[in-house]
Amino acid sequence: MNSWNSQKSADLYGISSWGAGYFGVSPQGTLLVHPHRQTPEKNEGKVASYDISSLVQSLKQRGLELPILLRFDEILADRIRYLQSAFESAILEAGYSGDYRPVYPLKVNQQRHIVESVLAAGEACQLGVQVGSKAELLAVLALHSQPNGLLICSGFKDTEYLELAMLSSKIGKRPIIVIEQPGQLEQAIAVAERLELPIELGVRMRPSVRSLYRDPFIYDRSKFGLGPDEMYALTARLRELGKEKCLKLLHVHLGTQITSIAPIKKFLREASRMYVELAQICPEISFLDVGGGLAVDYDGSNTNFESSMNYSVEEYARDVVYSIEQTCAEVNVKRPTILTESGRALAAHHAVLVMEVVDVSETESVKEKLPDPPSDHSFLTSIQALYSDLDTKDALEVMHDVVAIKEEMLEKFNQGDLDLVERAYVEQSLRNLIAKFKKIAKNIPYVPEEMQTLINSVRDLYFCNFSVFQSLPDSWAVDQLFPVVPVQKLDQRPTRKAILADLSCDSDGCIDRFIDLEDVNPYLMLHKYDSSQPYYVAVCLIGAYQEILGDLHNLFGDTHAIHVNTGMDGEPEFTHLVEGDRIKEVLSYVQFNPADLQERLRRSIEAGLRKNLLTPEDSVRIQKRYKEALDSYTYLVIDRQESPATPS
């Protein structure tokens, strides 16, 4: 039998499929990040790869505890260049006379250091920014310093929003107010006239083409956008007011994570046709913003599965450019500047969550025979005999017996016919039976689905120091799949089928669906846990939406976040540290004042002292520990000298 190696682990976890060139495995079995997707000889003066295990060790030496979110700014820059290059190639190939500019939708990730990195990396290609609220607008007004920087103003707007957006033209911005509901036009024009400022308008079309996962009728009444009748009414009103030259942009948006190219092609034809119609009415329209939807291949299968995509970035760019070129050529309309708001495709790859396994609940292993039952109860002795007689021929029949035994066991226990010791024996025996099924199944040419389901139901439970709700909200909210990979030991064969459980007191706080090239996997292969050694697991491609959507379930706060870049000496450098929430901070988020809590505790201690329930030394110790805890990380601080208890 061939020995295990790093390449086999890379194949097992599909790293070359979903990694898009940004991830790999070292010969020493550690997970690597390639920030430039290039070979070392093409990266003179740049780090060719970061070893995540080494980065974690360096951060722990600096006093930081896991979980830690690693942000690779160079990947953000590379994603912008990659998207720009794909469109430049498509424009050249099609002979398209217009331009292309990427736009970053701030909602994808509003963290300041990320926004700054995106804006800096996007200067060369005149990257624009899209905002959808006053708060997002205020952030961008202070950060976006690009001369004549394109500012797409979407969402619901009040007078304050409109005034701020329009006044930004005085400080070098180019705001375009996107009309998304019929009533917004009059309000926007009134504010512009009062401020005595010129106004540039956009209009959002509600597409009739649906994505694969939306009901067409519901999508026709989506939250934002104007239908054909409303679009016509808007252009008529603009002409009536003599403002038709103010319309500069058509905005369309099919949805997020559009996994199939087919609806995108239909959508682009509709959008292009609407653009040429508007161009004949509003002669100065010059931008066609095709919105978001460019997917990320989270599972690497290159299919139209909901966590994948059946097209490439290059194919997407060609379809966008060719569709607009063809439609404009039909009526000889000047080609617009193409805008895309591909926030997920820009941001997803740059962030990796690293967490530590703190304990494991393992499944049973196969035994030669079951131990003797604790009593001579016939129910128990029959199970012992069933285990001994189990072989390949009757495996399916015995599997049906297992289901019946479990139901009968509960009934007997509830009726008092089995005591706790006897029930415990039955439970353990059933797990042993399923473990034996797993071994037998390897020698069966065809394993029935119901048997496979039973086998897959028995998995190790790896408890990890993180919160699904805080760090991976889409995992539980919409069943989003993210690649999960061990950080080390990738040169060794993983032997345990596992699911991951977080620290929260919630049954939804787990990851029990994993990527696979052919199907969703009900388990993740991991290495046997050794409590004396740290074992790290990384969740990749989480740079889009996860941070901003995370919540405080069980008051687990933001994790530490570290920005990793290439230093002047060519070595990895931690350029920004965003410390995770302290307990006192998350308590204040839910209106608990830390000082007030300490005072209330002091009063309780004083009452205890008066009743001789504790000593003055106890009083000092409790208050000191309480104050220290308020200032500590909301996650576990792992002490390898003490074995953590498994949650019940």
Under DSSP, is residue 342 helix (H, G, I), strand (E, B) or coil? coil
Give the mean pLDDT of 58-64: 95
Burial of 555 (0-12, 13-18, 19+ CB in 10 A): middle
CA atoms within a 13 Å half-sphere pointing along the CA-CB vector of 633: 19
Measured distance CA(136)–CA(95) in Å, rounded: 37
Of the candidates 425, 647, 467, the one whose C-alpha atom is nearest the C-alpha of residue 553 is: 467
Measured distance CA(199)–CA(192) in Å, rounded: 6
Chain centroid to CA 470: how far? 11
Residue-wise pLDDT for 261-299, tens only, equals: 999 999 999 999 999 999 999 999 999 999 999 999 999
* pLDDT score recorded for residue 392: 62
* pLDDT score recorded for residue 192: 97
**What pLDDT band is residue 173 in, cutting at 50, 70 and 90?**
very high
Least confident span in 196-200, 369-373, 635-639: 369-373
Give the architecture (CATH level 2) of 378-456: Up-down Bundle (1.20)
Asked if 556 and 506 count as a contact pair (C-beta separation under 8 A), the reply is no
* pLDDT score recorded for residue 569: 82
* pLDDT score recorded for residue 492: 97
Residue-wise pLDDT for 197-255, tens only, equals: 999 999 999 998 665 444 444 445 567 899 999 999 999 999 999 999 999 999 999 99
Measured distance CA(282)–CA(333) in Å, rounded: 12
Measured distance CA(313)–CA(222) in Å, rounded: 27
Give the mean pLDDT of 170-187: 95
Measured distance CA(306)–CA(321) in Å, rounded: 25
> Residue 645: beta bridge partners?
none
Query: Which H helix or E strand runs over 537?
Result: strand 536-539
* pLDDT score recorded for residue 393: 61
Residue-wise pLDDT for 103-159, tens only, equals: 999 999 999 999 999 999 999 999 999 999 999 999 999 987 888 899 999 999 999
* pLDDT score recorded for residue 147: 86
Residue 646 has pLDDT above 60, yes or no: no
Measured distance CA(12)–CA(67) in Å, rounded: 24
Angle between helices 395-414 and 449-456 in degrees, nearest 10: 50
Asked if 481 and 514 count as a contact pair (C-beta separation under 8 A), the reply is yes
Measured distance CA(185)–CA(194) in Å, rounded: 14
Give the mean pLDDT of 584-589: 96
**What pLDDT band is residue 46 in, cutting at 50, 70 and 90?**
low
**What pLDDT band is residue 454 in, cutting at 50, 70 and 90?**
confident
Asked if 348 and 109 count as a contact pair (C-beta separation under 8 A), the reply is no
Residue 39 has pLDDT above 60, yes or no: no
Q: Is the peptide bond before 534 cis (omega within 30 degrees of 0)?
A: no
How many residues are there in the chain? 648
Residue 323 has pLDDT above 70, yes or no: yes
* pLDDT score recorded for residue 292: 95
**What pLDDT band is residue 382 in, cutting at 50, 70 and 90?**
confident
Longest dimension (CA), the chain: 96
Q: Which two tokens stand for residue 23?
A: 């991830």
Question: How much is the CA Rg of the chain, to the nearest whole Å?
Answer: 30
3-state secondary structure 403-452: HHHHHHHHHHHHCCCCCHHHHHHHHHHHHHHHHHHHHHHCCCCCCCHHHH
Residue-wise pLDDT for 71-81, tens only, equals: 999 999 999 99
With the C-alpha atoms ordered 398, 402, 408, 413, is the resulting torsion angle positive or negative?
positive
Residue owning tokens 């030394």: 617
Of the candidates 335, 323, 233, 324, the one whose C-alpha atom is nearest the C-alpha of residue 281 is: 233
Percent of the chain residues past pLDDT 70, beyond the cut: 94
Residue-wise pLDDT for 456-513, tens only, equals: 777 899 999 999 999 999 999 999 999 999 999 999 999 999 999 999 999 899 999 9
Residue 447 has pLDDT above 90, yes or no: no
Measured distance CA(300)–CA(18) in Å, rounded: 4
Domain boundaries, the chain: 96-341, 378-456, 584-630
Percent of the chain residues past pLDDT 90, beyond the cut: 76
Measured distance CA(264)–CA(319) in Å, rounded: 8
Measured distance CA(427)–CA(380) in Å, rounded: 11
Of the candidates 31, 15, 5, the one whose C-alpha atom is nearest the C-alpha of residue 493 is: 5
Q: Which two tokens stand for residue 2?
A: 């061939």
Residue type, 604: S
* pLDDT score recorded for residue 215: 43
Can 96-341 and 378-456 be said to share one CATH topology? no
Measured distance CA(521)–CA(518) in Å, rounded: 9
Residue 633 has pLDDT above 80, yes or no: yes
* pLDDT score recorded for residue 402: 77
Residues 6+ apart with CB under 8 A from 418: 377, 379, 409, 412, 426
Q: Is the peptide bond before 67 cis (omega within 30 degrees of 0)?
A: yes
User: What's the mean pLDDT when you consider all of the chain?
Assistant: 91
* pLDDT score recorded for residue 647: 44
Residue 442 has pLDDT above 80, yes or no: no
Measured distance CA(535)–CA(225) in Å, rounded: 49
Residues 6+ apart with CB under 8 A from 183: none
Residue 375 has pLDDT above 60, yes or no: yes
Give the mean pLDDT of 425-452: 78
Q: Which two tokens stand for residue 108?
A: 């994808």
Chain centroid to CA 567: how far? 28
Of the candidates 582, 527, 532, 589, the one whose C-alpha atom is nearest the C-alpha of residue 559 is: 582
> Residue 100: beta bridge partners?
338
- CATH no. for 96-341: 3.20.20.10
